[in-house]
Amino acid sequence: MSFRHGLRLLYSQLSLFSRELNRPGCRYVSSSLALSSEKRASDFSSFVARTNTCGELRSAHVGQEVTLCGWIQYQRQGLFLVLRDFQGLTQIIIPQDEAHSHVKKVLYDAPVESVVRVTGTVTSRPPGQKNPKSEALRMQYRYLDLRSFQMQHNLRLRSQMVMKMREYLCNLHGFVDVETPTLFKRTPGGAKEFVVPSREPGKFYCLPQSPQQFKQLLMIGGLDRYFQVARCYRDEGSKPDRQPEFTQIDIEMSFVDQAGIQRLIEGLLQYSWPNERGPITTPFPSMSYAEALAEYGTDKPDTRFGMKIIDISDVFRSVEIGFVQNAVNKPQGTVKAICIPQGARHLQNKDFESLKESAKSQFNQEVLHLILKPDESLKSPLSKFLSEEQQSKLIQALKVQADDMVLLAAGEHEKVCLVLGNMRLESANLLESRGLVLRDPTAFHFLWVVDFPLFLHKEENPAELESAHHPFTAPHPSDTSLLYSEPAKVRSQHYDLVLNGSEIGGGSIRIHNAEQQRFVLETVLKEDPKLLSHLLEALKCGAPPHGGIALGLDRLICLVAGAPSIRDVIAFPKSFKGRDLMSNAPDYITPEELEPYHIQVAWPAAEAEANKN
């Protein structure tokens, strides 16, 4: 539907056919909405006074003058209206100049469900409009949006897929579905946890980010195999495509190792995978974190396409270019590149400039480009510094062909990998916007990423360590002794599951030894172990070796459904800013209502002033 694509119509002519009072009942022709665009072949606008249906408008229509007929779904003080027909919704923008004041008046008086004809030019939503009106409208009238084919399909797909997962876990593999509390205690470092005031003065519950502690306690409690479709909470302020409450398939098993969890999840996904998406093959390939970083510049490689990062330090070691020499001679210094096949044909100068700009602004890193011309010569500011032998070595190492474009960066290994990993994805986006297909939308590439570091140096103070994932992750069996000597070098038993370049799950084998857990908390992480005393105490009482995983359900369903955003697979999502635009939550409540919880609002100065007046 045009509404979904953010298209809108700039009004130029309007006819009001009939005014209608609201009559409760089923005026919204929801059944017709179930027509998907794939199945539509008929011309619905022959013989009648319209050129198109609301549901037909696509990006291709931008700039065309079209005429639509339909019902006024909603209108706002003569600013815009939402027009509905049996196939979809279109937002109609009404010009605000004097010449159109009569239209404004007519619309202001016309109740919703009035029937109108509108002629105008199709526009796409203004670029840079962060919270686009049409998106906000979808959220405000979510119950109407839910009637769309796509939302009906996505929610039903989600329900069915979760049901199959439950059958696999519960019926086939003896897992116990256990509900764990969401009113819990603050966890160490839980800065993103919502707080919930209690009736005891000064005491707060927290909404946990995951049932991590509970699932470990269930293993200690002898439940053996646990799962839960768990509601989790994370207060991240405004992050795109994140929700303050989200759902994970949460799993924990006793007496299991990393391979055991991986085989379980492969079986789970294979069993629950929707037929119409084709079969998936198992086992999923596996890659170490170091390999993923070196070849794809990320811990979640999209393996649907090539353009891998290639180390060309050897070629450049003897090249007399200042910045290259600077880079190569530092510890961890490298020169690396990616090759964009046919990049010179499909990308323009401004594309390369924008890539360069992005590397500069995001990573403060210079990126150079080379093009192999059809006559096999290299076009680049670099080429004059390279001997013919060096040029041919470079072409060989990168397997460059005519019209390919190479992006090259020199510097510290990790940084260069991250930059080129980013360039790789940005170039792919650019190429696809020019009509090429690099990432088959029907392909599903799963990948295990393993052997993560157990600890990371803190950004703000590199002398201190923090958990790469969480403090309960067990060290890699080969690295256990290093834990006590060189903890920064220890790899963990953490594993991530990646699908088409998105992280859809992560888990680990846990520490089940109280002393080791205490050592990690106290000595390595310098955390106050008191906040976790209940877990430390529990680990002393006969904890079986155990491990688990959590799959991000919203993201997984989003990928399976091919939806543009996780908001398209959640019935009532919140906006970027964490608002429910339908009910207008969060909302003000009275000081009297806060009284039982012994809290009061600490108004920022400006608002406190405004409140006084």
Query: Which of the residues 227 through 286 are near a second copy (CB under 8 A)?
Result: 231, 233, 235, 237, 244-245, 247
Rounded to whole angstroms, the Cα distance separating 53 from 70 reads 9
Binding-site member from 39, 42, 128, 199 for a second copy (CB under 8 A)? 199
The two tokens of residue 426 are 């940005």
Sole window of 121-129, 206-214, 318-326, 383-391 interacting with a second copy (rule: CB under 8 A): 206-214
Number of alpha carbons in the 13 Å side-chain half-sphere of residue 292 = 24
Phi-psi region of 542 (alpha: psi -120 to 50; beta: other; left: phi over 0): left
Quote the strand ranges of 458-585, DSSP E. Answer: 465-467, 494-499, 502-509, 546-552
Q: Is 542 in the site for a second copy (CB under 8 A)?
A: yes
Nearer to a second copy, 504 or 570 (CB): 570
Q: Is 80 in the site for a second copy (CB under 8 A)?
A: no
Minimum separation from the CB atom of position 331 to a second copy (A): 39
Residue 375's CB is within 10 A of a number of other CB atoms, namely 7
Residue 237's CB is within 10 A of a number of other CB atoms, namely 10
Binding-site member from 123, 392, 513, 575 for a second copy (CB under 8 A)? 513
Nearer to a second copy, 138 or 491 (CB): 138
The whole-angstrom distance between residue 416's C-alpha and the CA centroid of its chain comes to 24
Minimum separation from the CB atom of position 575 to a second copy (A): 12
Sole window of 301-309, 316-324, 388-396, 577-585 interacting with a second copy (rule: CB under 8 A): 577-585
Residue from 520, 550, 552 nearest 535 by CA: 520
Nearer to a second copy, 236 or 376 (CB): 236
Sole window of 98-106, 213-221, 349-357, 409-417 interacting with a second copy (rule: CB under 8 A): 213-221
Q: Are 69 and 14 in contact (CB under 8 A)?
A: no
Binding-site member from 135, 145, 404, 479 for a second copy (CB under 8 A)? 145
DSSP letter at 590 equals -
Residue 107: strand, helix, or coil: helix
Minimum separation from the CB atom of position 533 to a second copy (A): 9
Sole window of 3-11, 53-61, 297-305, 585-593 interacting with a second copy (rule: CB under 8 A): 585-593
Q: Is 527 in the site for a second copy (CB under 8 A)?
A: no
The two tokens of residue 462 are 């590199």
Residue 277's CB is within 10 A of a number of other CB atoms, namely 15
Nearer to a second copy, 99 or 589 (CB): 589
Q: Is 477 in the site for a second copy (CB under 8 A)?
A: no
Rounded to whole angstroms, the Cα distance separating 87 from 54 reads 6
Binding-site member from 66, 355, 394, 539 for a second copy (CB under 8 A)? 539
Q: Is 600 in the site for a second copy (CB under 8 A)?
A: yes
Q: Is 136 in the site for a second copy (CB under 8 A)?
A: no
Residue 329: strand, helix, or coil: helix
Nearer to a second copy, 221 or 333 (CB): 221
Q: Which of residues 375-434 bind a second copy (CB under 8 A)?
A: none
Q: Which residues, at least 6 apart from 46, have a Cβ–Cβ distance to it below 8 Å?
A: none
Sole window of 397-405, 459-467, 500-508, 512-520 interacting with a second copy (rule: CB under 8 A): 512-520
Cα 220 to Cα 214, 261, 348, 591, distances in angstroms:
10, 18, 60, 44
Give exposure, 162-174, as e/b (b: 16+ Cβ within 10 Å).
Answer: bebbbebbeeeee
Residue with tokens 């003080």: 77
Q: Is 13 in the site for a second copy (CB under 8 A)?
A: no
Kindly state the helix (H) or strand (E) to which residue 421 belongs, with its residue range.
helix 413-433
Binding-site member from 94, 406, 550, 570 for a second copy (CB under 8 A)? 570
The two tokens of residue 232 are 């989790």
The two tokens of residue 16 are 């009001």
Q: Is 594 in the site for a second copy (CB under 8 A)?
A: yes
Nearer to a second copy, 411 or 475 (CB): 475
Binding-site member from 534, 564, 565, 609 for a second copy (CB under 8 A)? 534
The sign one gets for the Cα dihedral 347, 350, 356, 358 is negative
Binding pattern to a second copy, positions 341-360, x when CB under 8 A? --------------------
Binding pattern to a second copy, positions 91-130, x when CB under 8 A? ---------------------x------------------
Q: Is 26 in the site for a second copy (CB under 8 A)?
A: yes
Kindly state the helix (H) or strand (E) to which residue 293 belongs, with its residue range.
helix 289-296
End-to-end Cα distance, the chain? 46
Q: Is 484 in the site for a second copy (CB under 8 A)?
A: no
Minimum separation from the CB atom of position 181 to a second copy (A): 5
Q: Is 137 in the site for a second copy (CB under 8 A)?
A: no
Minimum separation from the CB atom of position 557 to a second copy (A): 11
Q: Is 156 in the site for a second copy (CB under 8 A)?
A: yes
Q: Is 86 in the site for a second copy (CB under 8 A)?
A: no
Residue with tokens 């519950």: 205
